[in-house]
Amino acid sequence: MSRASVLLDALSTEPTTTSDLYDRVGYAALTRVGLVPYRAFRDELAKLSSAGLARSEDAPDGSTMWWRDDDRSPPAISGR
């Protein structure tokens, strides 16, 4: 199982924060693919975004929201 596949499996078309996504993936999976360090986790998400497989946007509270880029249309993020 690759880092990318672990993250893509956890992403959906609904935006979620980096922190919530980290929790969704879970410690066991993060350990298996070497993404326990939060910086490594965020860097891998950024790679997916650069490859056009995931999208991100800053939420009004400053958190980063991530979602799977299935149709390239950004979902509405609450509080905008």
Domain ranges of the chain: 3-68
Contacts of 14 (CB under 8 A, 6+ apart): 67, 75
- Residue 77: its pLDDT value, please? 54
pLDDT along the chain (80 residues), means of 10: 95 95 97 97 96 95 91 53
- Residue 72: its pLDDT value, please? 55
- Residue 76: its pLDDT value, please? 54
Q: 3-68, which class in CATH? A: mainly alpha
Q: What's the pTM value of the predicted model, to 2 decimals?
A: 0.83
With 0-12 CB in 10 A as exposed, 13-18 as middle and 19+ as buried, what is 29?
middle
Strand partners, 55: 67
State how far the Cα of 42 lies from the Cα of 35, in Å rounded to an integer.
9
- Residue 75: its pLDDT value, please? 52
- Residue 80: its pLDDT value, please? 45
Q: For residue 59, give the amino acid letter.
A: A
- Residue 71: its pLDDT value, please? 62
